[in-house]
Amino acid sequence: MSDKGVLIVIEGIDGAGKSTQTKSLLRKLRAKGLPAVYFREPSRGKWGRELKRLAQQAGSLTPEQELELFQKDRRENVEKNLRPALAAGKVIVLDRYFFSTIAYQGAKGLDRDRIRRMNERFAPKPDLVFILDIRAGEGLARISGRRKKDVLFERESYLAKVRRIFLSFRGARFVQIDARQSRRDVARQIYDKTMLVLSKKPSCS
Ligand code: TYD
């Protein structure tokens, strides 16, 4: 990659602890004096806000329409946030990226290879992708104390499919982490691996 910056992605199903771990990593990188910045998908841009709004009305979009909106949001995030930050030599900590699209929209039956290819055409390649792994039921129990049982049952079987797709991502850039460990242990593994990758980046050493 010609960019000077570094792109670190944190992925996982709902309730895996992404937000906590994203914040923890950012705090530690900044404490080290590194120029760390935070972004998320769905983003805070117009498409991301539209996705958040539509998420309240379950079933209002077909999987293909959903995919289209996540793609529009990602294009905007890449152009407005990710590319400028990478060019400026920042360390980006990104909460969800196109692996979420492959997993969540793939679990709704869309072709995973097609989703991957359409993203690889324009989305910068991450240096590291952490996948926080937890069973769907456990993840849901962490976040959804008050929801109705039948809604949860449907969500759980969907998230079990999403999880299986996340678990299928293998390769040098992917780090699968057991998210049932204590927050501190998960945070330490994420931080150690990030520092190792940063130490090998010529622009950061
Ligand atoms: P997120 O904001 O991470 O969840 P939360 O509101 O719990 O903080 O993501 C919102 C939902 O969007 C989440 O269930 C995952 C889903 N999602 C997709 O289905 N496809 C995608 O491409 C992305 C980025 C998220």
- Cβ within 8 Å of residue 128, ≥6 positions away: 7, 8, 9, 173, 175, 193, 194, 197
Ligand 1 atom 22: residue of nearest CA? 101
Q: In the prediction, which pLDDT does 3 show? A: 67
Task: Tell me what pLDDT residue 1 has.
Answer: 46
The verdict on residue 68 lying in a domain is yes
What is the value of pTM for the model shown?
0.94
**Within a domain: 1:** no
Q: Measuring from atom 14 of ligand 1, which residue has the nearest CA?
A: 14
Q: Is there a contact between 12 and 166 (Cβ–Cβ < 8 Å)? A: yes
Residue 29: count of CB within 10 angstroms of its CB: 21
Would you state the pLDDT for residue 152? 81
| CATH number, residue 31 | 3.40.50.300
The pLDDT, as a whole number, for residue 132 is 98
Q: Is residue 99 part of a domain?
A: yes
Q: Give SS3 for 32.
A: coil
Domain that holds residue 51: 6-204
What is the reported pLDDT for 147?
63
**Domain contains 195:** yes
CA of 41 from ligand 1 middle (Å) equals: 7
State residue 86's pLDDT score.
98
**What are the 10-residue block averages of pLDDT along the chain, 205 residues in total?**
84 96 98 98 94 82 95 98 98 98 98 98 98 95 74 88 98 97 98 96 67
In a domain, 62, yes or no: yes
* Ligand 1 site residues, Cβ closer than 6 angstroms: 14, 41-42, 70, 96, 100-101, 104-105
Provide the pLDDT for residue 182: 97
Task: Tell me, yes or no, whether 38 lies in a domain.
Answer: yes
Q: What is the pLDDT of residue 26?
A: 98
Are 37 and 155 in contact, with CB atoms under 8 Å apart?
Answer: no
Looking at residue 148, its pLDDT comes to 64
The answer to whether residues 88 and 131 touch, using CB atoms and an 8 Å cutoff, is no
* Structure-token pair, residue 100: 């979420």
Is residue 191 domain-resident? Answer: yes
Strand (E) positions, 85-197? 91-95, 128-133, 174-178
Q: Flag whether 176 is in a domain.
A: yes
pLDDT at 123: 98
- Nearest Cα residue to 130 out of 197, 66, 85: 197
| Peptide bond between residue 42 and the one before it cis (omega within 30 degrees of 0) | yes
Q: What is the whole-number distance in angstroms between the Cα of residue 203 and the centre of ligand 1?
A: 32
Distance 86 CA to ligand 1 centre (A): 23
Of ligand 1's listed atoms, the one at least distance from the Cα of 101 is 22
Contact present, 130 and 181 (Cβ < 8 Å)? no
Q: Are 85 and 5 in contact (CB under 8 A)?
A: yes
Domain count, the chain: 1
